[in-house]
Chains A and B, each alone.
Chain A
Amino acid sequence: MSEAVLLIGTRKGVVVGRSRQGRRHFELQPLQLMMNAVYGVGIDTRPETPRLFATAMSEHWGPSLHHSDDLGATWLEPDQAPIRFPEETGASLARVWQVQPAPANQPGVVYAGVEPHALFRSEDGGITFSLVEGLYSHPHRERWEPGGGGACLHTIVPHPDDPAQMLVAMSAGGVYRTTDGGVTWNPGNKGIQAYWLPEDQRFPEFGQCVHKVASHPTRPERLFAQNHFGVYRSEDWGGSWEPIESGLPSTFGFPLVVHPSRPETLYLFPLVADAERMPPERKCRVYRSEDAGGHWEPLNEGLPQEGYHAPVLRDAMCTDGGDPAGIYFGTRAGEVYASSDDGDSWHLVSEHLPDVLSVRAAVLE
């Protein structure tokens, strides 16, 4: 097995782990970017040397985006703020929620999702970014509401083949899609419920509180979404959505991950409810479906099954692209668990970290 790298974003810095032995054991470096909340991490495997990203939010010194070209030995940032709103917007960057390298057919392109709701695009590998004006000037903007975590654009799903197509998800604006490279955007929320609205208004055109959207690169028209109550599948790239909740202990949760080589397989970490953001029965369980949401099974081997209270946040679950897949998740209790057998069993990578906000992993060639 090749080397694997694991990035762990926590409320108080980032930890880089490397495994050279089949992903069973990760050697963790000391915490870096000290006292910065790292809501998003990313790994760009397109360059010969992978580039790591860590969003950093200092309560005192503001938000930034750091990168590392030596697998986390050192972290860099440009002299000028890498992501900044143009003066004419009157907006100020509050937080970088997501950093997403584009597919291999768009070399150097990296996207960032931020708060307040906006998408930024880099063409120099994630060093400097420009605002995607088409989304920022969308007429719906004034009616997008903040989610519980803020007015964040937290999910970016580039189309694997067509650079003109992309999907983003915002809390609480919902899903939006472009087919012209970001010039125009249209909502894609048909069938997704906004439960907090009056009964006859629960399926609006936009404004849903989507928590995470994911797809598989070999089947991009199929999407999965974990919402603020509700798990959905779309077979037409967000044109319409159907619930896939049968067998789940709860429809509330944050992360959603698709297996890297099996497009029918996906993973969730259900929580009881928004008013009780803890695992059902206080058991730490990942739920897996191997038929695109038709059925669900709990995965608990190696995970705590008594008195477990910690949730998993929207970007704190990932796969590493390996085969068999490595699946990882970090908890707000500061633990990181990993599976190297598609989720059948789990082992502890680390514990006693600050609460984990984000994880990403990759098997390096």
Chain B
Amino acid sequence: MAGEGGRRPEVEGEARDVGPETPGRPATLFLPGALQPWAGGRSSLSLEGATVGEMLDGLALSVPQLEWRLRDEQGMVRRHVQIFVGDTNIRDAAGLQTPVPEGGCVYIIPAVAGG
């Protein structure tokens, strides 16, 4: 699943705290191993947001060093980043406007790519 991009550079911040979780815990964002070092080693984060885009907006505030791995500066999801709400790829739904149900599960999955 991780493909060739499934490793991350050795950078400072391996053990940094990811900041307080969003109260309310309406949905869970699951991270692949490659992204976990940017989240303080955690495999999931609880985030508020009625849509995937709103969840990532919250991520940009609470864990900025992680958010810009997923979206570029114009807010577009990077080409080889796949985001699923449950078993639905948001590219097959409403993109960043895809609704996230309360208590839902959102998965970040790196596409198989590279050489």
Interface residues, chain A, with chain B CB atoms under 8 Å away: 13, 32-36, 56, 58-62, 66, 74-81, 84-85, 87, 90-93
Chain A residues within an 8 Å CB radius of B7 = 34-35
Evaluate whether A92 and B81 lie within 8 angstroms (CB atoms) in the complex, with A35-B5, A60-B34, A75-B9 already known: no
The answer to whether B78 has its CB under 8 Å from any CB of chain A is: yes
Check if A79 sits within 8 Å of B72, measured CB to CB. no
Chain B residues within an 8 Å CB radius of A92 = 72-74, 76
Check if B114 sits within 8 Å of A59, measured CB to CB. yes
Evaluate whether A87 and B68 lie within 8 angstroms (CB atoms) in the complex, with A33-B10, A75-B10 already known: no
The interface residues of chain B, by DSSP majority, are classed as: loop
Chain B residues within an 8 Å CB radius of A87 = 73-74
Mask: chain B, 2-42; 1 = CB below 8 Å from A; 0 = not: 01111111111000000000000000000000110000000
A32 and B11 CA atoms in complex are apart in Å by 9
Check if B110 sits within 8 Å of A33, measured CB to CB. no
Interface residues, chain B, with chain A CB atoms under 8 Å away: 3-12, 34-35, 64-65, 68-70, 72-74, 76, 78, 80-81, 110-111, 113-114
Distance of A358 from chain B, by nearest CB (Å): 16
Chain A residues within an 8 Å CB radius of B73 = 81, 84-85, 87, 92-93
Check if B74 sits within 8 Å of A34, measured CB to CB. no
Chain B residues within an 8 Å CB radius of A79 = 64-65
A56 and B11 CA atoms in complex are apart in Å by 12
Who on chain A is nearest to B82 by CB?
A60
Chain B residues within an 8 Å CB radius of A78 = 65
Chain B residues within an 8 Å CB radius of A74 = 10-12
Q: Which listed residue (B12, B69, B111) contacts A62, Cβ 8 A?
A: B69
Check if B12 sits within 8 Å of A34, measured CB to CB. no
Check if B68 sits within 8 Å of A62, measured CB to CB. yes
Check if B10 sits within 8 Å of A60, measured CB to CB. no
Check if B68 sits within 8 Å of A81, measured CB to CB. yes
Max chain A Cβ within 10 angstroms of own Cβ: one of B4, B6, B10, B64: B10
11 A/B residue pairs, CB under 8 Å, sorted by A: A13-B9, A32-B10, A34-B8, A34-B10, A35-B4, A35-B5, A35-B114, A61-B69, A61-B81, A74-B11, A75-B10
Chain A residues within an 8 Å CB radius of B70 = 61
Chain A residues within an 8 Å CB radius of B114 = 35, 59
Evaluate whether A60 and B9 lie within 8 angstroms (CB atoms) in the complex, with A35-B114, A85-B73, A92-B74 already known: no
Distance of A125 from chain B, by nearest CB (Å): 16
Check if A59 sits within 8 Å of B69, measured CB to CB. no
Evaluate whether A90 and B81 lie within 8 angstroms (CB atoms) in the complex, with A60-B110, A75-B12 already known: no
Q: Which listed residue (A66, A84, A93) contacts B9, Cβ 8 A?
A: A66
Evaluate whether A60 and B111 lie within 8 angstroms (CB atoms) in the complex, with A34-B9, A36-B9 already known: yes
Distance of A116 from chain B, by nearest CB (Å): 12
Who on chain A is nearest to B78 by CB?
A62
A229 and B20 CA atoms in complex are apart in Å by 57
Chain B residues within an 8 Å CB radius of A62 = 68-69, 72, 78
Evaluate whether A59 and B74 lie within 8 angstroms (CB atoms) in the complex, with A33-B9, A74-B10, A74-B12 already known: no
Question: Ordered nearest first, which 5 A-B pairs have the shortest CB separation?
Answer: A60-B5, A33-B9, A61-B69, A84-B73, A92-B72
